[in-house]
A and B are shown apart, each in its own frame.
Chain A
C-alpha cells in the first residue's frame, strides 16, 4: 500500500460499512505508472448527515449562471433566503460597456417574491406575475429571469405559464428556470438547467456580429475579482474581438449574438460544457477547453487559440504578447516563487478550479497533494472520453437533456467558423484537442489523492495526516485551516482580491499566497509563557 492508500484507509475507518463503501468510490490515488485514470464516482448523492460543501440546483442556476447577466432582472420566486444569499455574494463584477449603459445594470440589486405562508398554501403565481409587472414598470429591463426555489415545484406554481403571460403583456423575454434546490445532487444540476434555457431561448435571437476578424466567446468565465476582464485584455490585445464573457459581466444583448462568434473558449468545463456542445450541434461552432489560470497555461491556451484560426499574423502577435507579458511577469513571480516553492497544498473546490489552479501553483513550485471537486462529474476528473460510459441515475434523469439538430439556416461547419479549409481543420483537430477536456487526473502529482465531494470528517482527517502548508478551499473550510495554523485562500471569493486569471492575475495570486504564508502572526501562535513546553502537536505553519 502506498502512503496515500494508508491515509485513505485510516480516514475511512470510522465510517459504517455502507458509508465506507460509498465514499471509497469517490477517492482515487494518482498512479503515474498505471497510466489512465481509474474510475471515480462523482455527481451522485451525498449521504444524508454528511457535512458536505455542496450547494443546490438553485445555487448553480441563479447563483452561478444566470445571476451575473447584468442587464437582466432575475427574480427569485420563493421565500426570502435564496434570493438574499445570492445577492452580491459571488463577486461576479459587472460594468457598463458598448451594449449596456449603466442604467441597465441590475447586478447590485436583489429581487425576491418573499413568499409567505398563504402563498405556499394558495399558490404564488399571482404574486409573481404582479411583481414582474411592477419591476417592468419601475426598471424597464431588457429581459427577466425567474428562478424557482424548493417549494415551487411542490406547490405546483407553473412558472412557465407565468413567464409566457408576462412576456406577452410586456413584450420582453421572460425566462423561467425550474431550478428547485432539490433537483439533481448539487449545483451542477442548476448549471445544466440554466444552460438549457439560455441555449433554447436566448442564443440565436440576435443578429449583430461585432466588428473584427476573429470573434470569440469565453464560456464558463464568471469574472470573479475581474478575471474575465484580464483575459479579455489579453485577447483583445492579440487581435480577437471578445463577443461575450459567459456569464461574468455578460449582457443579454451579447448572449443573443453568441452564435455569431467563430469559436467558443471554455474556461469552466463543468458549468458550461452543455452550451459549448449544444452550440456545436446547432451552429457548428467549435469549442476549445482553455485554462487562463497560471502563466504557462495562459501561454499554452493563447497558442492553441491562435492555431485554431490558421492566421499567421495572429500567431505572430500571440508570440509577441506572450514574450512581452512573460518577460514582465516572470521576474516578479520569481520573488514570490522563492517563498512558495516546495510547499504542499490541498485544493478542494468547484467543478474546474481544483484543476485550473494546479497549473498556477505549479508555476510557483507548490505541489498539490490532495485535490477534489465539490460538484464535478466523472469527465471533469477522467476526461470527456468517459461520458458515453457514465450511467444515468434517478437524480440525473430529472434534468432534461435538449436534443438539438443543426439549424437549417445558421449551421456552418466548424472549419467555416474558423475560416480554414476542411483539410486544414482535420489537421488542426489532430494537433489541438477541440471539443475535448482531458480532466484533472493527468495533472495530478504522482501519489496525490483525488477526492470527490470531500466532507468535513475527511477534510479534518486529511489535514491532520497529510499536513499541507496551504489550503485552497471555500469560506466554510478556510477558518478550520486557520485554526490549525495552516494558511488558506478562498478560490471562489479569492479572499476579496483578484483577478487571479491571466498574467496580472498570476502576479496577484502569487503575492496573495506569499502574503498568506509570510504573515508575521503565524509565528505568534504560542504564547511566550508556553514556549518550550511540549504539549500536543505544534502548529506546522
Chain B
C-alpha cells in the first residue's frame, strides 16, 4: 500500500496532499438539514450539490435532498441573480419546503453575487422563508460552513421579544451525528430543562424505514423554535469551531448568555456540559445520570490496562479532536500526534495546554494540516492507535496500525450515525471501540502459546 510515498524528509509547503478537511458548503448543507421542512440550496454549479449530497448520503446512508442554481458559463459571467430567483420560485412550487437555506460556493463567491440583495428580489410565498449563508470554499473548512449556516439561522430567524427571558436553554450541538443530537436531547430532558436544539438532524438523517417516503421527515428544529431561541436564558455552544460564533451572535442580537463548551465527548467534557446546566438552572442531576457516570468510571478502571500508556494519533475536525484528545488523556493514553485540517490557531494552543497539564511532552500538534504530513510523522515514529475518519484507513493499512473510526466522514462502516459518542453512553462506546481495536490487534499478533481466552 502507498509504495509511491517518498522516503525521508520532504518539502511539502503548498497545497494539500490527502486533505483532512473539505469545503464550507457541505457543512452548510448539513446544518440546514437540521431545520424542519428545510431544503438546502447550493448557489453554484451542479457539481457542488451533487458531491455534497453524495458524500452526506454515504456517511448517513439516508436520503439527502438539496437543490442547486445549476450555473452555466453564462451565469458565471453575468452573475447568478436569474438562477437564484428561478430556483426559489421553482423550489417552493415543486418541492414545497417551509424554508430554503441558500449557501454559496466558490463560484458564486468569486463572482461576488450579493445574496441578501437577490433574496429581497425573490418571490417568496406568504409564511415561507429564504435564509442564506456565505460559505466561500476557499476559506476555513466544512466546519466553518456549518458554523456559518448556524449563524444564518440566528441572524435571519432568532428574535428577542423583550428583556425577560424564558426558562429555557439553547444548545448548539456542533457538527455531530443525529445519534449525538438525540443523546444530547435525552440528557437535557433528564435534567428537566426546556431545550431548543438547533440544528437538529435527528429524525431527519436517521429516519426509520416505514414503507413511506417523506421528503421532509419529522425531525429538525422548527422555525418557531429557532425564532424563540432569542428568548432563552442561556445558550450552550458545543464545540468552539462549529458553535461559538452562533452563540456570540445570539448574545449580541438577542441578549442570550452564551457559554462555550467542548463537544461533550469524554468524561470531563460531559461533566462540564451537565455542570453548566446544573449551575445555571440549579437543577438536580438525576440519579440515572449519576449511575451512567459511575458506570463510565467503573469501566475505565476495569479496562485501563487495555490502553494505558498507548500512543495515539488523532485527526479530524477540530471540535472532535479537542474533545477526543482530552478523553484519551483521561484514559491514560498518550496523544502523540494531533492534527486537524481546519485552520484556526486556538486549536494548537488548547491542545498544547492539555498536553502540558498532563505532563506529556514530545507530541506534535498541527492545525490546517493534511494526512500526508500525518503519515510522514507516523513513518518517522509509529503509534499504537489511530483515531479519525475513514480517510485514515490508508495509513492504517500501510503502517499496520489499528484505526478507530471517529468523526466525519465515516464512509466504510455503518450504524455510527445512530450511535452517540457524546455523553456518558458515548464514553462507553468509545472505550469499547478503543479497547477492542487494541485487543483485536493483540489477538492477531499473539503467538499460539500467548493467545488468551480471557483478556
Contacts and interface: CB of A to CB of B under 8 A. Distances in A.
Contacts of B139: 116-117
Contact of B89 (A49, A115, A137, A537): A49
B373 to A, nearest CB: 12
A123 B14 CA distance: 14
A48 B47 contact: no
Contacts of B41: 49
B23 A134 contact: no
A81 B51 contact: yes
A119 interface: yes
Contacts of A185: 72
Contacts of A120: 106, 110, 136, 138
Contact of A186 (B46, B65, B69, B75): B46
Nearest to B88: A49
Given A81-B26, A480-B63, A483-B212, A139 B4 contact: yes
A87 interface: yes
B63 A483 contact: yes
A479 B57 contact: yes
Interface string A117-153: 1011000000100110011011100000000011101
A19 interface: yes
Nearest to B341: A80
A484 B212 contact: yes
A102 B372 CA distance: 18
B11 interface: yes
B73 A395 contact: yes
A84 B23 contact: yes
Interface stretch (A54-62, A253-261, A271-279, A506-514): A54-62
Given A48-B83, A48-B86, A49-B90, A475 B57 contact: yes
A85 B213 contact: no
Residue of B47, B91, B141 most packed against chain A (CB within 10 A)? B47
A114 B106 contact: no
B62 to A, nearest CB: 5
A47 B86 contact: yes
A111 to B, nearest CB: 6
Contact of A536 (B25, B46, B212, B394): B212
Given A47-B86, A49-B86, A483-B213, A108 B63 contact: no
B50 A485 contact: no
Interface string A1-27: 000000000000011100100000000
Interface stretch (B203-211, B222-230, B331-339, B422-430): B203-211
A50 B67 contact: yes
Contacts, number: 272
Interface string B42-61: 00111110111111011001
B211 A538 contact: yes
Contacts of A55: 46-47, 50-51
A476 B49 CA distance: 11
Interface in A94-119: 101-106, 108-117, 119
Interface residues of A, number: 93
A52 B210 contact: no
A362 B68 CA distance: 35
Interface string B17-38: 1110111011000000000000
Contacts of A525: 209-211
A80 B21 contact: yes
Contact of B213 (A104, A180, A480): A480
A89 B54 contact: yes
Contacts of A110: 16-19
Contacts of A116: 138-139
Residue of A115, A138, A484, A536 most packed against chain B (CB within 10 A)? A138
B105 interface: yes
A45 interface: yes
A180 B212 CA distance: 39
Interface string A524-541: 011000000000111100
Contacts of A105: 3-4
Contacts of B111: 154
A48 B67 CA distance: 8
A154 B107 contact: yes
A186 B207 CA distance: 31
Nearest to B208: A483
B138 A112 contact: no
Nearest to A51: B67
Contacts of B19: 80, 83-84, 87, 110, 112, 114
A355 interface: no
A286 interface: no
A114 B16 contact: yes
Nearest to A457: B94
B10 interface: yes
Interface residues of B, number: 84
Residue of B26, B64, B68, B213 most packed against chain A (CB within 10 A)? B213
Contact of A80 (B3, B13, B137): B137
Residue of A14, A106, A183, A479 most packed against chain B (CB within 10 A)? A479
A111 B72 contact: no
A13 to B, nearest CB: 11
A419 interface: no
Contact of B48 (A81, A114, A138, A154): A81
Given A79-B137, A81-B22, A116-B139, A51 B211 contact: no
A56 B50 contact: yes
A256 B372 CA distance: 30
B76 interface: yes
B47 A56 contact: yes
Contacts of B156: none
Given A130-B13, A181-B107, A80 B23 contact: yes
Contact of A85 (B55, B66, B341, B372): B55
A56 B14 contact: no
B74 to A, nearest CB: 6
A345 to B, nearest CB: 18
Contacts of A475: 54, 57-58
A395 B45 CA distance: 13
A112 B3 contact: no
Interface in A437-495: 456-457, 460, 463, 474-476, 478-480, 482-485
Nearest to A56: B47
Given A150-B107, A153-B76, A483-B210, A113 B14 contact: yes
Contacts of A268: none
Nearest to B205: A479
A360 to B, nearest CB: 24
A56 B22 contact: no
Residue of A15, A108, A127, A183 most packed against chain B (CB within 10 A)? A108
Nearest to B138: A79
A48 B141 CA distance: 26
Given A80-B16, A82-B47, A137-B11, A182 B107 contact: yes
Contacts of A151: 106-107, 110, 138
Given A47-B90, A153-B76, A485 B58 contact: no
Contacts of A19: 90, 94
A223 interface: no
Interface in B68-109: 68-76, 82-84, 86-91, 93-95, 105-107
B106 A149 contact: yes
Contact of B211 (A182, A478, A539): A539
Contacts of A82: 23, 47, 51
A78 interface: yes
Contact of B6 (A58, A112, A139, A483): A139
Contacts of A49: 41, 67-70, 86-91, 94
Nearest to B43: A48
18 contacts: A47-B86, A49-B86, A51-B65, A51-B68, A51-B95, A79-B106, A79-B137, A80-B22, A81-B26, A85-B51, A89-B55, A139-B4, A150-B44, A475-B58, A476-B57, A480-B213, A525-B209, A539-B211
Question: Across chains A and B, which 10 residue pairs bring their CB atoms closest together, nearest first?
Answer: A56-B47, A539-B211, A81-B23, A49-B90, A49-B87, A79-B137, A150-B107, A85-B51, A181-B45, A55-B50
